[in-house]
Amino acid sequence: MSEPQGTEGTTQRLPVIEKATGPGSLDQSASAADHEPPPAVDGDGRERRFWSARRIPAALTALVLLATAGMFLYDIAAVRADRPAMRWRRELARGLAERPLDDIWVLVGAGVATALGLWLLVLAATPGLRSVLPMRRTHPDVRAGLHRDLAALVLRDRAMEVAGVQTVRVRVGRARADVRAVSHFRDLDDVRADLDATLADAIRGLGLTRPPALSVHVRRPGRKG
């Protein structure tokens, strides 16, 4: 069984929780593939995702702009002081004046600049933090979010409480919670029905704004040897 990792007095983000399952057979209940579990909870869907600070891209962009602006300002000040322009600026001006627009290096430079610009626009227009699921507000001034790894841990622990479940693997995404369990006794349909009810209640207890849809698959353990 997987256990949270960390030391006393520290906080550490937990990895994706998975239960080790050996090579298993394909014995599943006849309706396991097309079974549609009951809805977990009715979320209002009004809470938006958390925005990432994106400190690294912002710092890199600021450093590049600062260095470029500093070099140009220094060169312009040198020219104003009746000193020759720096060699790199003379070479750059000569190259831009002599090279045609269809030159391979001009096209490569334009493509790189366009790609970087689009990347910055995407970062500016998207919230990021895809691993944090927004939770419903209980106070107007407080926002809370739950990491997907922690949600998987909660669902894993609740699934292990169901009679007949030997091992379970849980993956929680933004829109779906995928649960794959191995049952060593009891009828597979009964185990799956109990998992549906238990995990639906667990998802309801997470208090998420947009609860993920629940997908449960149950199979028998594979033969050893």
Architecture of domain 132-219: 2-Layer Sandwich (3.30)
Q: What tens digit of pLDDT does each residue of 5-41 get?
A: 443 333 344 433 333 344 444 344 433 444 454 444 4
- Predicted pLDDT at 57: 81
Least confident piece of the model among 18-22, 195-199, 215-219? 18-22
Which residues, in sequence order, are bridge partners of residue 26?
A: none
Nearest to 146 by CA among 198, 195, 212, 196: 212
Whole-number CA gyration radius for the chain: 28
- Predicted pLDDT at 2: 41
73 CB neighbour count, 10 Å cutoff: 10
* Burial (Cβ within 10 Å: 0-12, 13-18, ≥19) of residue 179: buried
- Predicted pLDDT at 224: 64
Instruction: Give dist(CA 133, CA 127) in Å, integer.
Output: 12
Domain with CATH 3.30.70.1350 in the chain: 132-219
